[in-house]
Structure 1
Amino acid sequence: MTASIIGAGESPYTRHPSTKASTETVITDAVVRALENAGLTPEDVDGFAVSSFTLEPDHAIDLAWKLGLRLSWLMQDTNGGASAGAMLQHAVHAIEAGDASVVVLAAGDFMDKIAFEQLVARYNRATEDHLSPLPMGGPNALFAMLTARQMEKFGLTREDYGRIAVAQRRWATANPEAVYRTPLSLKDYIQAPMVAEPLCRFDCVPPVTGADAVVLVADELARGKRRAKVMAVTASYNSENQSGDGLQTGLADCSSIAWERAGITPGDVDVLAVYDDYPAMVVAQLIDMGIIPKEADISDFIRKRIYSGDLAINTSGGQLSAGQAGSAGGMHGLVEVVRQLRGDAGSRQVAAKFGVVSGYGMVLYRYGACANMAVLEAAE
């Protein structure tokens, strides 16, 4: 592929947004930060993509106009946790086709209590017509059942999932932009109040307000700059037609293609950002991408690779500690891996040549219908 990310920015996440904040203001803030990080201005941009659940009644073109962007390529995506990978995939193709040369990808939402309640009640027609009337209280109940099924299939315990949450909180303590940075122990996790058995408070991603953005450019414009070169982006949508058990994501279909196109193996990866709305989904995606080998003892892998910190996964703290800012949840991991590959991760910096970002989202009746994966390489 012939495109690289040379800038990343995040509008600070918060559980209690200012009365002056809006979806427009937080996305704009993230875009400005990403452009400054890339050493560019709005006048340099000719491509723009945005993902948001709460931007309405505005659309991508309205936001582009308010940002002062004059464009030859424009996209709007509403696929939640899979939106960053989807926009990246389309933007790379736009650059390769000559439709744009400097593309800003942005995602964010204003997510207070009212906005969150409206989102989970009217997420899509399936939710509004068939899940909300139960009432089912949002996705926690769905993923509680999926987690219980995963526990039974692989012999996992609550402690196994707790080790994932604790490890990510440990990373979050070094991330000043994470909403939750107080150290978390396994005892804290086990004793936390139940939300929907077997899920406790620390298994459920906290909604926040915020936004993220990256700047993607043609490789010839990235020469001499610290960059994350895009090696591969693959996706799978509606892979199981909502007929499976939910324990396998679309990554099982598209990850082998990503590894082949990138020319590396799962063992070559130095840093990962896995979409983490629930710990069970971290496990599912790691299996589907081959990061957890098929023959591995999953509980042992969690202890020795994730809990120990040996595997640099969700080094921002992930959404479980940094927060889920609506559609920005899908962009949060991309921003973090770009920062790691460009050496911008501060005290949580790891030695990283190759990074992987996975996206997962858009619960239909039961499970996420969208999944994608991007492989990036540190380059200059």
Structure 2
Amino acid sequence: MDRPTVRPVPQPTLASADFWAAGADGELRIARCGDCSAYTHPPPPRCRSCRSPAMSMTPVSGRAVVAGFTVNAQQWLPDLPPPYVIAIVILDEDEGVRLTTNIVNCDPGDVHVGMRVRVLFEKAGEVYLPLFEPDPGRPEPPGPVPGPPARRPVPRPMATTRKFEDAVALTGVGQSAVGRRLMVDPLSLTVDACLDAIADAGLTPDDIDGLATYPGPGPGGMSEGGVMALEEALRLRPTWVNGGPETPGQIGSITSAMLAVAAGLCRHVLCFRTVWESSHAALVRSGRWHVPDGPATGMMEWRLPFGAASAANWIACQASHYFHRYGDDRETLGWIAVNARRNAARNPEAVYREPLTMDDYIAARMISSPFGLYDCDVPVDGAVAVIVSAVETAADLPGPAVLVEAAGTQITERLSWDQDTLTHLPQSLGPSAHLWSRTSLRPGDVDVAELYDGFSFNALSWLEALGFCEFGEARSFIDEGRGIALDGRLPLNTHGGQLSAGRTHGYGFVREAMLQLRGEAGDRQVPGARVAVVTAGGGVPSGALLLRADG
């Protein structure tokens, strides 16, 4: 007997309660400004266009157009069996208002970008979930969807000619054991990486006067406990600490450390990042770790009720829109995955090193279309640590320092997975433009690129956002893997990236860039590498660093 479908329910807040209750009378309601008439979603306290407080929940037609979608094939939730379609739909009333939802009452294979749909409601507890179905009253042609970015974002001008980047150097890097289901206390992994980085810099623990991490205390598998836990373990007595998730990507914690050093708060900041997702998942499956049930809150309020439990689902919607817009296909993503595996074969630390062919990639099971198994990064246990030092101390340290040419941190889009950029990974365009505004170097000066690849489409988005090729031209730039190979025009993710080396969540890219610029990357070394670009953040918010060899 089939199990009934039981959706996770959202937790209505003081701001969102009217939205979730609206379906009781069969009408979709969206926040609308009484002054300029603009709609905004999710419901805000002020209008997104004119900042007026005159917002009220207003009935809309309930008609929309599919702007991006994914057919989810992965069992993320126990009572919501796949396959099902997750989509971003754009309301007819305002193209700037989108809902993440499900497309129902049709074959998943019939869903396409531009499909005209209409709302219907499903009651879940005390709330009404807006789902969408094909609109028989509005047949083809397809409805309009937003076009590609008119131009790259124009960042704010530099606030001062004095660059904080010039005041710092990356003097040490360390890594713990990295692997699948290590079943090791995550704090011990952190300590191993941190002591390794301190020794690599030629320092002692007593020299460390700052600590920075991402995300601080976090949900299961994503943190060892943050600054408080590490300080208890090592007793470093820092003069400055920082930890939190709201930074320019995971490496935003490194950028924060640079700012602290440049401001004179400290001279040697120990930055660290630890994950133990693989062991955590095993503990949950065995029943040794209990994950509490409860309504969906925060950003998941708008996603989990529709089965959009993973970033794989959210980013897949952007990938489908990119394919619709630029006429590309999965093979372009496949070459990113195949290239990562080729590089990982040269990296003795990589989790997966066995050969991967395009045939293997295409034949792999689907996770959330267009993403198959090899489009998704590998959850692991491991820690990486980086030392940020005052640049004037570098000459007295035994190892080669890596200098910071520029940091890209500016936000130019809505910090949302569905309300702004659809053609690329959200929040990749702004940091990329900001990065180049802080340096005279250009994309052609970069010798190696370590670009966040939580999913293959992330790396594609960063390639285009950073200007290594124009929007929609990644296919020709990648050139069936030749353009991004170790001996190609832009060696990409030389250690295997997160797709094959393991998901060390941003910090692993900084480590690999440092090894490349120091000439210490072994069999995967790019000859003469002098400039490297690093990005982190598989969505919002994100950031970028441009690093260069000393001397």
TM, length-normalised to structure 1? 0.89
1:261 aligned to 2:438? yes
Q: State the Cα distance separating 1:126 from its structure 2 match.
A: 3.4
Q: CA deviation digits over 1:141-188, x for unaligned, max 9?
A: 222222221112122111111111001111111111111111111111
Matches within 5 A, 1:1-380: 1-18=166-183, 21-52=184-215, 53=218, 54=220, 58-79=225-246, 82-84=249-251, 86-111=252-277, 112=279, 113=281, 125-223=297-395, 225-237=399-411, 239-242=413-416, 243-248=419-424, 249-294=426-471, 297-303=473-479, 304-306=482-484, 309-310=487-488, 311-325=490-504, 329-350=505-526, 351-361=528-538, 368-380=539-551
Q: State the Cα distance separating 1:128 from its structure 2 match.
A: 4.0
Going from structure 1 to structure 2, the CA distance change for 1:312 and 1:376 (only over 3 Å counts) comes to: same
Going from structure 1 to structure 2, the CA distance change for 1:200 and 1:239 (only over 3 Å counts) comes to: same
CA distance in 1, matches of 2:177, 2:248: 18
Name stretches of at least 5 consecutive residues in structure 2 with no aligned partner.
1-165
Q: Which has the higher helix share?
A: 1
Q: CA deviation digits over 1:222-251, x for unaligned, max 9?
A: 116411101111213472243124334433
Q: CA deviation digits over 1:317-374, x for unaligned, max 9?
A: 000001114xxx111111110111111111111121111111124xxxxxx2211111
Going from structure 1 to structure 2, the CA distance change for 1:80 and 1:131 (only over 3 Å counts) comes to: farther
Q: Which amino acid in 2 is paired with 1:193?
A: R
Q: State the Cα distance separating 1:220 from its structure 2 match.
A: 1.0
Give the match's secondary structure for 1:246.
coil
CA distance in 1, matches of 2:178, 2:486: 27
- RMSD value over aligned CA atoms? 2.6
CA distance in 2, matches of 1:34, 1:142: 35
Kept in 2, the 8 Å contact 1:227–1:341? The answer is: no
Kept in 2, the 8 Å contact 1:89–1:234? The answer is: no
Give the match's secondary structure for 2:242.
strand
Going from structure 1 to structure 2, the CA distance change for 1:109 and 1:56 (only over 3 Å counts) comes to: closer
Give the match's secondary structure for 1:212.
strand
Kept in 1, the 8 Å contact 2:210–2:238? The answer is: yes
TM, length-normalised to structure 2? 0.62
CA distance in 1, matches of 2:474, 2:214: 34
Kept in 1, the 8 Å contact 2:261–2:267? The answer is: yes
Give the match's secondary structure for 1:223.
helix
Q: Which amino acid in 1 is paired with 2:171?
A: I
Kept in 1, the 8 Å contact 2:224–2:274? The answer is: no
CA distance in 2, matches of 1:308, 1:258: 24
Give the match's secondary structure for 1:247.
coil
Q: CA deviation digits over 1:185-205, x for unaligned, max 9?
A: 111111111112221110111
Task: Identify the residue that residue 364 of structure 1 maps to in structure 2.
Answer: none
CA distance in 2, matches of 1:358, 1:283: 12
Task: Identify the residue that residue 69 of structure 2 maps to in structure 1.
Answer: none
Going from structure 1 to structure 2, the CA distance change for 1:39 and 1:241 (only over 3 Å counts) comes to: closer
Q: Which amino acid in 1 is paired with 2:181?
A: H
Going from structure 1 to structure 2, the CA distance change for 1:81 and 1:240 (only over 3 Å counts) comes to: closer
Give the match's secondary structure for 1:145.
helix
Name stretches of at least 5 consecutive residues in structure 1 with no aligned partner.
362-367
CA distance in 2, matches of 1:73, 1:179: 35
Kept in 2, the 8 Å contact 1:341–1:352? The answer is: yes
Kept in 1, the 8 Å contact 2:198–2:387? The answer is: yes
CA distance in 2, matches of 1:316, 1:347: 10
In our comparison, the structure showing a higher alpha carbon Rg is: 2
Task: Identify the residue that residue 135 of structure 2 maps to in structure 1.
Answer: none
Q: For structure 1, which segment, 201-210 or 71-80, has the greater mean C-alpha deviation from structure 2 after superposition?
A: 71-80
Kept in 2, the 8 Å contact 1:81–1:330? The answer is: no
Q: Which amino acid in 2 is paired with 1:358?
A: T
Give the match's secondary structure for 2:413.
coil
Task: Identify the residue that residue 365 of structure 1 maps to in structure 2.
Answer: none
CA distance in 1, matches of 2:206, 2:180: 33
Kept in 1, the 8 Å contact 2:378–2:503? The answer is: yes
Q: CA deviation digits over 1:243-284, x for unaligned, max 9?
A: 124334433223233223222001100011111011111111
Kept in 2, the 8 Å contact 1:236–1:370? The answer is: no
CA distance in 1, matches of 2:448, 2:303: 37
CA distance in 1, matches of 2:508, 2:266: 24
Q: State the Cα distance separating 1:137 from its structure 2 match.
A: 4.1
Going from structure 1 to structure 2, the CA distance change for 1:81 and 1:160 (only over 3 Å counts) comes to: farther
Kept in 2, the 8 Å contact 1:61–1:74? The answer is: no
Q: State the Cα distance separating 1:305 from its structure 2 match.
A: 1.1
CA distance in 1, matches of 2:384, 2:283: 19
Going from structure 1 to structure 2, the CA distance change for 1:10 and 1:360 (only over 3 Å counts) comes to: same
